[in-house]
Structure 1
Amino acid sequence: MELTLSESCLLGALIFCFVIQLYFSLFVHLKLALVKVEEIPVHAPKPLSVVICARNEAENLKQYLPYVLHQEYPDFEVIVVNDRSWDKTREVLEEFAAEYKHLKVVTVAEGEKFIAGKKFAVTMGIKAAVNEWLVFTDADCQPATANWLMGMQQPENEASEIVLGYSPYMRKGGLLNGLIRFETFFTAVNYLSFALKGMPYMGVGRNMAYKKSLFFKKKGFAAHMHIPSGDDDLFVNAHANRHNIEIRINKDTHVWSVPNSTFSGYLKQKKRHFGAGKMYKAGHKFILSAQVIIQFLFYALFIASLFFSPANYIAASVFVLSLIIRSFIYPRLLNRLNYPGLRWWFPLLDILLFIFLVFNGILSIFVKKVKWK
């Protein structure tokens, strides 16, 4: 079987992309698939504060705040920051506060100075907290169990200043919901795996924790206050390292969140995240960009190779081998991260996610202005 120079170059590039793809799968993501799941502690020696920011979240607070208030943790407070809501959020919080003494309500009035998206509200919540260990979630989030805080409490190792949790989206049915859940899964696999590898680059504010002293020592969000998003991932990107980070993937510590129900709403959400990503450290941006580019080239080169014979047989073999290896790793992770139903759809969702990431990246070039809510 003889190949022309162009066919050899095409296949060489395809195999190169395949090898880089294998690196991320086998030497980064596989660590998360094989790591031992931590046990939930049976003791809670230190108090903690839960911080939730809410803007026009009356209905979500009614439904999900009780799951936070009823945590089986011996000493904790819940701080809800009402950020300039104009619905019934204030009334709902007043009713809860009258019943639950460990609930503290902080109100951000319209016209407050230096307001920059969610970060001002988060800062107000942190200032109101009386405890050193802060656990963060959102108003539309539901802890998987009453042991959530037991699992997210301050680690025994005092050097650990940040804990990254996991927050899957609820199943609602439909292709969009499947794509949202798969994208959330893959994002979590990436940031949790790189944290295990000693290169933490982000966290998700729906389920994470850190020390109050770290926040003020690093001057809070001062370095990126002008970015509407990034109260979670930019803070971790700037201040996490291999020595002060831990992850939590025990299913008792998961926090379920309400997904977007429209494609436009989902695009708006991802646009906010994309804007924050531009502020990541250079090394992190390079690696994350390389992942998307390599995947794009892998698919593009594979399709191009199909038009050449006998190169198409080799390309098909490489593609099938890639699919087999990835199908061994990622369905296992889907089970571990509470998405067992998606494992049968992995090949299709993997391709759709890649198409969406490319589309969102192009769209982000032209759409500049974003808001928190």
Structure 2
Amino acid sequence: MEQIHLVSILFITAFIIQYYFLFRYFLSFVNKKPSLSKRPKGKQAVSVIICAHNELKNLQENLLLFLNQEFEDFEVIVVNDRSNDGSAEYLDKQVKLFPILKTVPISSTPIGFNPKKYAITEGIEAAKNDIILLSDADCYPASAQWIDRMSQCFTTSTSIVLGASLYEKRKGFLNQFIRFETLQTALLYLSFAFKKEPYMGVGRNIGYRKSFFLAKNGFQGFRSLMGGDDDIWVNRYANKENTQICTQAESLTFSNPKESWGSFFLQKKRHLSVGKYYKSKDKMKLGLFHLSQAMLWILFILGLMLGNPTVCLILSFLILMHLVGQYVVFYHLSINFGIRFMHYNLPTLEILFVLYYWIWGIYASLTKHLKWK
């Protein structure tokens, strides 16, 4: 009997915590839009920076979508980082066709400087405009208005704009999980930023001012780390006054998803390995969310195994309420992003996400030697 009471109390506690995040952050985010009342008049010039290391195929597929944006004053800078796959020759041809395209070749990386961070730094220093938009070579903008939508979010007091980047829909359960994991991550960092508590961004779709980046000495203090060029940087310097979010469907970027579990886990190992460098308050808040999410499912299964009919009925009702809340949030988030929501697999995807986050997250946090390609 004591076991049943303990499981019930812990389960209800986890349920309450999950619903706190639901009402405090998620529902308010998916149903409201941030104010842009301080936006300066007119369109501001923009520099788009894309770092590429042996990305010829992706450049051939995606670069034109960045170059053909419907925007008055912008440039596209491709930082060609030590490529030997013909990228230089391809970019030389494109430079002749598009005056707005500039290339920055890199032949070597300084000792103690992560290659990706060094490439970004070189690109930013070469930019002629103060507003910088960053993406990756394997990404493409969702619309020809991507620059316009992202740049509109730079108000007079804004130094950082957090965008969203999703993955293309493909067949198979792996693709479902990748897209769910990406939506879960986007929901967290965008809803927290909407509530003026920014803690991370994604390098596939992020913007900040060149002057702000240089004033903070770029990646000084963590430039040797693999990863963190987006989330650690945002975690250090974003605050409630200087950060905006951009979540319109036209402002998204998309990437080709990984096609094997091995390549997906390798990619996520790099991303999850930097969470330990977040501010303590952010680690505590994220830890509370993920722990309560895991405990909710563990205690639900444990409660069913104990076999008490009344407890099973209560736990089943509450887990159903949790899933209803999740469904509402992800449904509205998908509507806002203009994508289709995989509703029928939500319980399976969330349980797998819990296992992935804790098992692979702990492993990634203990990994020291990682490389950017």
Q: State the TM-score, normalized to the length of structure 2.
A: 0.94
| Residue matched to 1:24 | 21
| Residue matched to 2:246 | 248
2:273–2:365 contact (8 Å) kept in structure 1: no
Deviates more, 1:82-91 or 1:53-62: 82-91
| Residue matched to 1:5 | 2
1:185–1:337 contact (8 Å) kept in structure 2: no
Cα displacement (A) at 1:117: 3.0
2:109–2:115 contact (8 Å) kept in structure 1: no
Deviates more, 1:301-310 or 1:104-113: 104-113
Show the 5 A alignment for 1:135-154.
135-153=133-151
| Residue matched to 2:315 | 315
Which ranges of structure 2 fall in alignment gaps of 5 or more residues? none
Residue 185 to residue 55, structure 1, CA distance change in 2 (3 Å): same
SS of 1:223's equivalent in the other structure is coil
Mapped pair 1:79 → 2:77: yes
Deviations 1:213-268 (A, max 9, x none): 11011110012112111111111111110111111111111111111112111111
SS of 2:299's equivalent in the other structure is helix
The amino acid that maps onto 1:221 is F
Q: State the TM-score, normalized to the length of structure 1.
A: 0.94
1:200–1:237 contact (8 Å) kept in structure 2: yes
Q: Counterparts of 1:26 and 1:117 in 2: how far apart (Å)?
A: 41
- The counterpart of 2:279, out of the listed 278, 281, 293, is 281
1:334–1:343 contact (8 Å) kept in structure 2: no
Report % sequence identity: 37
Mapped pair 1:353 → 2:353: yes
Cα displacement (A) at 1:287: 1.1
C-alpha RMSD over aligned residues? 1.9
The amino acid that maps onto 2:102 is K
SS of 1:224's equivalent in the other structure is coil
| Residue matched to 1:220 | 218
Cα displacement (A) at 1:187: 0.4
Cα displacement (A) at 1:369: 1.7
Show the 5 A alignment for 1:296-315.
296-308=294-306, 309-310=308-309, 311-315=311-315
Which ranges of structure 1 fall in alignment gaps of 5 or more residues? none
Show the 5 A alignment for 1:158-307.
158-307=156-305
Cα displacement (A) at 1:180: 0.6
Deviations 1:304-352 (A, max 9, x none): 1112313222222221222222222222222223431423332222222
Q: Counterparts of 2:366 and 2:42 in 1: how far apart (Å)?
A: 49
**In the comparison of the two structures, how many residue pairs are matched?**
369
SS of 2:258's equivalent in the other structure is coil
Deviates more, 1:289-298 or 1:109-118: 109-118
Q: Counterparts of 2:42 and 2:69 in 1: how far apart (Å)?
A: 12
Q: Counterparts of 1:271 and 1:128 in 2: how far apart (Å)?
A: 31
| Residue matched to 1:36 | 33
